Structure 1
Amino acid sequence: MKLKVMAAAVIGASFISMPVLADVDPDLPDYETVSGISGNMTSIGSDTLNNLMTLWAEEFAGYYPNVNIQIQGAGSGTAPTALTEGTAQFGPMSREMRTSEIQSFEERFGYPPTMVPVAIDALAVYVNQDNPIESLTIPQIDAIFSDTRRCGYDEDITRWGQLGLDGAWENRDFTLYSRNAVSGTYGFFAENALCGGDFKASINEQPGSASVVQGVSESVNGIGYSGIGYITSQVRAVPVARDEGEEAFTVDNENYPLARYLMVYVNKHPNEDLDPQQAEFLRMILSRQGQEVTNRDGYIPLPEAVASRVRGELGLD
């Protein structure tokens, strides 16, 4: 997947677009334990990353039994406040911080928060397993989910028949499932699948990614979106094309148009090292063992070319 270049101001170096590796990069370093790591830490932020952060915390506890990491995953919008107020050491997010969120942090600390890419996600468009739709374009997705149709489709799409389905499907309308506005997934989808437009009032906003998938699985007319890590056997991830006449790609293809970095923000003074507990947790995430956890949870591991640069920026090499 050719990923959008990340904002450079937060970390001090941009991340070049590159193909995604389907498996764990064998060049990632093994994690090696250090002495003296103990204590409590808290993570507050993304629902998309909630399960992955929990699995990383469990992996970390295997190395350091005296460390306890509490995980809260109400949505990416909760991470900036938690970091600014000092109630969390980690702020997982499925979108980049907004300018206003960075400014609030800077007003308190005098420097910006540090953004750490930790995994790659393919944001899937899910339909019920019995739905025969073969593919969708970004303009079609926009016309299904938004009133504004900024991606250029020429009509509102309200029935499956408008997408070429016939028979019993021709006059079926949509049951739309979406994350809620506090979610980074909501913002990413609005920006990249709705071309910055507005959602229809008829969407069913859900508090978590799993709820979106469950809703689609229980509704034959359902369609929704969430991270690929939440896929189940009751739904299908539809191949997506950038525009009409272009090839549609599945979520595991490097050209899939709805790929994104998942990230964890931390409070790191630009002239000081991270606390040892924070540093080791991030070092583990950016190791072979950490990215194997990423792979097992259904997300796409970071290539070593990216992980190495992140470790360098954090002073972890």
Structure 2
Amino acid sequence: MKKTIVATVTAAVLAVGFTASASVDPRLPEYQRASGVSGNMNSIGSDTLNNLMTLWAEEFNKFYPNVNVQIQGAGSSTAPPAITEGTANFAPMSRAMRQSEIETFEARHGYAPYAMPVAIDMLAVYVNNDNPIECLSLQQVDAIFSATRRGGYPQDITRWGQVGLEGSWANRDFALYSRNAVSGTYGYFKDNALFGGDFKSSINEQPGSSSVVQGVTESLNGIGYSGIGYRTSGVRAIALSATEGGECFEPTAENAATGDYPLARYLYVYVNKHPNRDLDPMTREFVKMLYSKVGQEVVDRDGYVPLPESLASRIRRELNVQ
């Protein structure tokens, strides 16, 4: 089984002193406008980060109205070639780059791209708002979505009655909603919720996270997954347990920070940073804004977990955007 990223996220945030709160760290600096910033800024990559990138761009335009921002969010797999070929300044990804993607970038530029963790996301399992289910184990989630059941659940799960629902729910089949293979969320869910196994052929693949949530909203039997920032009133993000019979944890900032919620992950934005050169002024100021109070307030407002100043200051230092 592939090691989940939740341990990495938890260790990192605890090491830098995260206090398990959804509020923005008051130690984050205020952003101050710089002079002489203009140009075209392109972002190509993750659908999960599409809302965040759009909100950040709107904040950035308040400081720099002469910057023209273009954002494309077809999926994380579109980010590495875009930043490698120079068609994007920023490459948002809901997963870390694969080694092969890094090697392709290195072959072109002679150094690796820089991975900026910009927020902590909880990958939520959504059901229709009228569905009474309260919790599922990852092993049950695997048996619902996968054809391989590498999590070890003893039987395929095809009806809601098999996970404890009674009455009219007992014989209801599942309507499975999933992202498509170009998505980093798809890959993360496959690795961590399906234990590296394969999806069932009956899943309804969707081009975006909002489409997954919409599908579950419109289907009483629906179940799907996407980032917590896409939660709406038509769905419920259910609690999950890491082990069969284990304690259930809601997808909250506190449970992400402690590592109790089993599907927590970093969201990344990759940049092309030469190790011996500074970022261009526009990229530098955008990065500086991301790791300021206003940048992390956007993270909080969009439903994700903001980063602590101790981690933000490390990124600013490494990128020389102090």
The match for 2:112 is 112
Provide the C-alpha distance between the structure 2 equivalents of 1:306 and 1:4, rounded to a whole number of angstroms.
Answer: 17
Between the two proteins, the alignment pairs up a number of residues equal to: 309
Over the aligned positions, Cα root-mean-square deviation in angstroms equals 1.4
More helix by share: 2
Deviation at 1:205, TM superposition (A): 0.4
The match for 2:12 is 16
Gaps of 5+ in 1: 7-14
The match for 2:184 is 184
1:128-147 pair list within 5 angstroms: 128-147=128-147
The match for 1:194 is 194
1:252-271 pair list within 5 angstroms: 252=252, 253-254=255-256, 255-271=260-276
TM-score by length of 1: 0.95
Percent identity, aligned pairs only, is: 68
1:225-236 pair list within 5 angstroms: 225-236=225-236
Aligned residues of 2:45 and 2:74 also touching (Cα < 8 A): yes
Provide the C-alpha distance between the structure 2 equivalents of 1:272 and 1:41, rounded to a whole number of angstroms.
Answer: 19
The match for 2:206 is 206
The match for 1:278 is 283
Aligned residues of 2:174 and 2:223 also touching (Cα < 8 A): yes
Deviations 1:115-173 (A, max 9, x none): 00111111100000010001000100011000111111111111100001111010111
The match for 1:82 is 82
- Secondary structure (helix, strand or coil) at the match of 1:111 reads coil
Aligned residues of 2:137 and 2:245 also touching (Cα < 8 A): no
Deviations 1:54-98 (A, max 9, x none): 110010000111111110000000000101111001000000011
1:269-308 pair list within 5 angstroms: 269-308=274-313
- Secondary structure (helix, strand or coil) at the match of 2:267 reads strand
- Secondary structure (helix, strand or coil) at the match of 2:120 reads strand
Provide the C-alpha distance between the structure 1 equivalents of 2:318 and 2:224, rounded to a whole number of angstroms.
Answer: 36
Paired AA for residue 312 in structure 1: R
Paired AA for residue 138 in structure 2: I
- Secondary structure (helix, strand or coil) at the match of 1:278 reads helix
The match for 1:124 is 124
TM-score by length of 2: 0.93
From 4, 8, 24, the counterpart of 1:5 = 8
Paired AA for residue 290 in structure 2: I
The match for 1:12 is none
Aligned residues of 1:127 and 1:237 also touching (Cα < 8 A): yes
The match for 1:11 is none
4+ aligned runs moved over 4 Å, structure 1: none
Aligned residues of 1:21 and 1:303 also touching (Cα < 8 A): no
Aligned residues of 1:3 and 1:17 also touching (Cα < 8 A): no
Provide the C-alpha distance between the structure 2 equivalents of 1:69 and 1:5, rounded to a whole number of angstroms.
Answer: 32
Aligned residues of 1:114 and 1:266 also touching (Cα < 8 A): yes
Deviations 1:93-114 (A, max 9, x none): 0000111111111110111111
Deviations 1:259-290 (A, max 9, x none): 11111001111111111100110110111000
Provide the C-alpha distance between the structure 2 equivalents of 1:104 and 1:82, rounded to a whole number of angstroms.
Answer: 12
Q: Compared with structure 1, are the counterparts of its residues 220 and 236 closer, same or farther at alpha carbon in structure 2 (3 Å cutoff)?
A: same
Paired AA for residue 280 in structure 1: E
Paired AA for residue 101 in structure 1: E
Provide the C-alpha distance between the structure 1 equivalents of 2:151 and 2:314, rounded to a whole number of angstroms.
Answer: 34
Provide the C-alpha distance between the structure 2 equivalents of 1:164 and 1:280, rounded to a whole number of angstroms.
Answer: 52
Gaps of 5+ in 2: none
Deviations 1:166-221 (A, max 9, x none): 11010111000000000000001111111111111110000000000000000000
Provide the C-alpha distance between the structure 1 equivalents of 2:96 and 2:21, rounded to a whole number of angstroms.
Answer: 22
Paired AA for residue 175 in structure 1: A
Deviation at 1:245, TM superposition (A): 2.3
